Structures are given as structure tokens and as C-alpha cells.
Structure 1
Amino acid sequence: MKNSNGNTKLILLHPYIQKQGSSSRLWLLGFVSLFTLAFLLTLIYTRESTSTAAAATTVASSSLAGAPLPTTVINILIHYASTSNSSFHMSYAEIKQISDVLRKCSSPCNFLIFGLTPETLLWKALNHNGRTVFIDENRYYAAYMEEKHPEIDAYDVQYTTKLSELHELLASTKKHIQNECRPVQNLLFSECKLGLNDLPNHVYEVDWDVILVDGPRGEWPDAPGRMSPIFTAGVLARSKKMGVNAKTHVFVHDFYGEAERVCGDEFLCRENLVEASDTLGHYVLERMDANSFQFCSNQTLPKASTS
């Protein structure tokens, strides 16, 4: 730099000062490097921990999804379902009887229910990990239930029967028992008046382990009655494929009704009735040979027409 006299002077820094500046820069560089390393290690550890936790959660969820419901949970569900305010719900004893069969069913259990009732969500929950399908006569209610509860698999069916025609329909079925009303067949192609042939195709392909007839609703003369569901349940149970569980449990609710009792005797058979009360009948049916032409062992085949 220049002084006041215009002469230029050279200013030299002391070696100590230069050394002190280099040392500060080295300390700063070391601190930044150490901080960066610590940050990277923390990031790697956090990611590994998160991945491990996520994997553990996934495994636990998968294990829980595949496990049966604990007995305590089942008992609580049954208790609250049977003590609801609805006047149409099943009793504790009725629900417990069906629940016990579902628990013993091989997994996954195929459960077919005729009727959307106050127990609909309960049946879906009790058949945990199994296949549960509902059939109802009211298409609007079936659509409503599926929209409100997407986990519900519900379909509607149009019944063509009338409760007042009970005995006429039984006579017609007996008349054609060796043809379209035989006990072993694919109902999808059946012309039997009591056979339901307009259900979704896959309903006929599934080998049902448990079938509950709790619909359609109504006990007045023009109501459809439960003749068709009981007949259909009897055919589905007897038409199961080889290599699967040969037995099918069929429950008929409101067992005090004439149609329920009479059709139960005709198509589910008294020899298969293992338990009954005024409100619930429990049948256990075996698979039949394709050449079988009578539902019950004590039935008499109609005489062939001579015309």
C-alpha cells in the first residue's frame, strides 16, 4: 500500500496468523464432513428401520387376515347381533348354531344365504376369510346394501312362485322328478318350476358348504314363499363335484311355516334333519350320484305315463 509520502510499502503477514487461518479452515472442513457423514448414516438407518417395520406390519397383517376369528370376538359379535333393537333378528341360540358350523367349516368356507336380513353383516364377519354370497328378491335393497357395504356380495332374483300355489308346485315337481326336477343337475339349464335358474353363473359353479334359507320375506298368499330356495338348496347340495367336502349344512329359518316344513320334508328330507326347533331347522345333506332320481330315501317315484 502507499503512505502519505507516496512511497509503497509491503505488508507481510506473520506466519502464525497464516497458520491460524489454515487451521480454522481445516476445522471447518472436518466439521462439515463429520456432519454430512452423520446425516447419511441417520438417513440409511431410518430407511432400514422403516422398511423393517413396514415388512413386519405386512407380515402381521397377512397372518391376521389368514387367521380365524378369536372365540371372544365371535361371542361378542353374536351377543350384540342377538340383542339388537330389530324385531326380526335371530335369537342367540339360532345364530350360535349356525356360527358353530361355520367355525368347523374347512377354510375357506363357501356360505350361501337366501335373504338380506339384520344378520347380513354378521354372517359376512363370522365367515372370516370365506366366500359369502347373498340372494334377495328386492333388487333395490340388494343394490343399496352393496353400495353402502362394498364388501357385501349380493344379487337379486325374481321369484315366479306364490305361497298359495304350494301344493300345486309340489305336485308338479314330483311329476317331473326324473327330468327337469331331478335332485342332481345344473340348475342353470333347468326348466323346473321350483328351480332358480337366473342366478349369476358362478353361483352354480361353487360347491357350497353352508346354505341358509332366510328369504324371501312374506307369509301372505301372493308372497313368493321359500319353496324355490329350499328346492334349490337341496339340488346344489346334492350336485357338488367330486373331490370336495361331500356334506352340506342347510339351515331353514322360520321353521314354523308350512312351506318351510313341507318343502324341508320333500327336498331336504327328515332323515337329514339333525336339529330342529320352532324357528330353525338344520339339515346335513350328502352329495348324490348323477343318476339319482329321488331326494329322500323313502320317496316313491311317480308312475310313468302310459299315454
Structure 2
Amino acid sequence: MRPKGSQALNFKVLLLGVFFAFLLLFVLRSSISSSQDDTSDLQTFAAAKTSNGVKESKSGANCSPSCDKIPRYLAQALIHYATSSITPQQTLKEISVTAKILEKKSPCNFLVFGLGHDSLMWSSLNYGGRTVFLEEDEAWIEQIRRRFPMLESYHVTYDSKVNQAENLMDVGRGPECTAIADPKYSMCQLALKGLPSEVYEMKWDLIMVDAPTGYYEDAPGRMTAIYTAGMMARNKEKGETDVFVHDVNRVVEDKFSMAFLCQGYMKKQEGRLRHFRIPSHKDSLERSFCPE
């Protein structure tokens, strides 16, 4: 998730456009929710105009509570991305896939495997919801926390490595891994069992797998993160979970996303990002691990 260089200026301009569109939606929502208060304010304003003249009328208009300010959190995000020379590692088209789902579902519960310079963006696009980041590098967590203390992040460890992917794929085909269960108590070797308790307790609307590192043989690969994301979605009491996997140009991300998130659940691929929509399996026990 950590960018390795700057992007073109037009990327930043378009990214800012996404933020402004979100802010417009926020303001419209706020205006609708305060419609009853607005009616009362208009009546007060009319009375002031009748009894006190134009001077009070102008003052009342300027103080209308319907003129909402941009929340400080979103203002900080806009300033950061407008002034930073570092932009998210995902491309605009890749970001737009997740942003469209957030536009429909936010505020919601969003779990992200990975912590980076794009984390402030994801948390801002899910304004009012809960966005949690899981990261394997403790020093990196502290660095990001100093810059963005408002982000909720946790340190996690991964026991598997990229060079174990082939063996873990065979393990994942066993009955203990295709049985629907809470990952925390699963017998499957692929299930992550050391995550913070709140991660298992929360019912996630969106999950993004953009970590751990995964780009060399001895790195902690994404096999267990991808499997656990899919099992969290299946173990949900009801409804669907949107799961995103980045870097599917790599062998592990490609094969494990198709095997454990299922090609039949894939909704879209844009560049190196795949989007899956996985239904709950608990409300339909006869449902197979992957659709036929």
C-alpha cells in the first residue's frame, strides 16, 4: 500500500474531484436531515424581517444553521492530498471501483489489510463509518500515527510466507477450510487467528486486501489475508460483503483470490484490482463454497 513515487498532476486533480463529490453528497445529506430546523429558522427569519427591518434579516441569513462547514477531518484530507507529492499506489481507475461502493454503502464498516498514504483517503471516503487498518510493520504504524492520529490501526503478524503458497493452496482445498466458520475458531491453517478481537466481532461491509508485503519469496504473503477476508464474508449472519484484492498481477493474489473469493463472485477487475461480492453462507447452509 505504500507508494514508491509521485503520480502525474492530473491524477491528483481527479482524486480531488472524488473528494469534492463526496463532500457535496455530505452537504446534501446534512441539508435534508435539517429540513425541519430550516423551516423553523425561516419562520423566525420572516418575523425578524417584519419587526426589525432589513438589517436583522441579513444577519439571520448569515447565521442559518443549514450552512454547514466542511468537517475538519475531511478538510485535513483535502489539504494533505492537495499539497503532498506522494499519491496512493492504486491508480485512479482502481480507486474508483472501491469509491463507487463506498458512495453507496458509507457510512459503513470497512476493514483494510494494510496501512499507507492512501489510508486517510479511505477513512475520509467512509466518513461517519468505522475504517480499521491492519499492518505488519510496527515502525510504519508509528510513523503514520504521528501524521494521522485519527486513523484506527492495529499491528498484526503473519506466519506464512510467499514461498509456502503452493502448499497452502493444497491445504485450502481440505474440508476444514471449506467449512463455514468464524476464522478465529477455524481449524483451517489459512485462517488468521491472532487479529484484534474487535476485528472478529465486527460485521464488515467492505474488506480490502492490500497487505501484507507479498512481493518476494520470504515476504509474508497474502494467502491467509485473502482466505480470512472470504471466510469473514461467508460467516456473516446475513447480507453481502464487498471484498477487494489489490496486486492481482502477482501469482499469489491472482490464484488465491480466484480460489477462495471465487471467480463466480467476482464483479469487476480494473487494472490490478479485483472486486468480489460474497453473500452470507449462514442463511443458506446448502450453498457451496464457490458458486457452481
Using structure 2 for the length normalisation, give the TM-score.
Answer: 0.69
Gaps of 5+ in 1: 1-52, 299-307
Higher relative contact order (CA 8 A, sep 6+): 2
Name 1:228's counterpart in structure 2: 224
Change (3 A) 1:64 1:148: closer
Which residue of the other structure, out of 172, 178, 196, is the alignment partner of 2:192?
Answer: 196
3-state SS of paired residue (1:194): coil
- RMSD of aligned C-alpha atoms? 3.0
Distance in 1 between residues matched to 2:194 and 2:88, nearest whole Å: 28
Aligned match of 2:9: none
Give per-residue Cα distances to partners, 1:29-72, cap 9 Å, x unaligned. Answer: xxxxxxxxxxxxxxxxxxxxxxxx9xx89x6699976xxx8xxx
- In structure 2, the CA distance between the partners of 1:278 and 1:91, relative to structure 1 (3 Å rule), is closer
Please state if 1:207 is matched with 2:200.
no
Structure 1: distance between partners of 2:203 and 2:160:
26
Aligned to 1:153: 152
Please say which of residues 229-238 and 210-219 is displaced more in the overlay: 210-219
Q: Distance in 2 between matches of 1:141 and 1:197?
A: 22
- Measured in 2, the distance between the counterparts of 1:209 and 1:114 equals 14
In terms of mean alpha carbon deviation, does 286-295 or 125-134 score higher? 286-295
TM normalised by structure 1 equals: 0.66
- 1:297 Cα deviation from its structure 2 partner: 2.5
Query: 2:161 corresponds to which residue?
Result: 162
Larger Rg: 1
* Percent identity between the two aligned chains: 35
Aligned residue in 1 for 2:89: 89
Shift of 1:265: 1.1
Structure 2 residues without counterparts, runs of 5 or longer: 1-59
Query: Which residue is 1:20 aligned to?
Result: none
What is aligned with 1:257? 250
Residue 241 of structure 1 aligns with an amino acid whose one-letter code is E
2:143 corresponds to: 144
Asked if the contact 2:265–2:291 (Cα under 8 Å) also holds between the matched residues in 1, the reply is no
The CA distance in 2 between the partners of 1:223 and 1:216, in whole Å, is 8
CA–CA distance in 2 between the matches of 1:224 and 1:236? Answer: 20
Counterparts of 1:91 and 1:241 in 2: how far apart (Å)? 34
Which of these residues, 275, 278, 292, is aligned with residue 268 of structure 2? 275
Provide the aligned length of Structure 1 versus Structure 2. 227
Alpha-carbon distance between aligned partners in 2 of 1:84 and 1:217, rounded to the nearest angstrom: 24
1:127 corresponds in structure 2 to 126
Measured in 2, the distance between the counterparts of 1:103 and 1:231 equals 26
Matches within 5 A, 1:24-63: none
More helix by share: 2
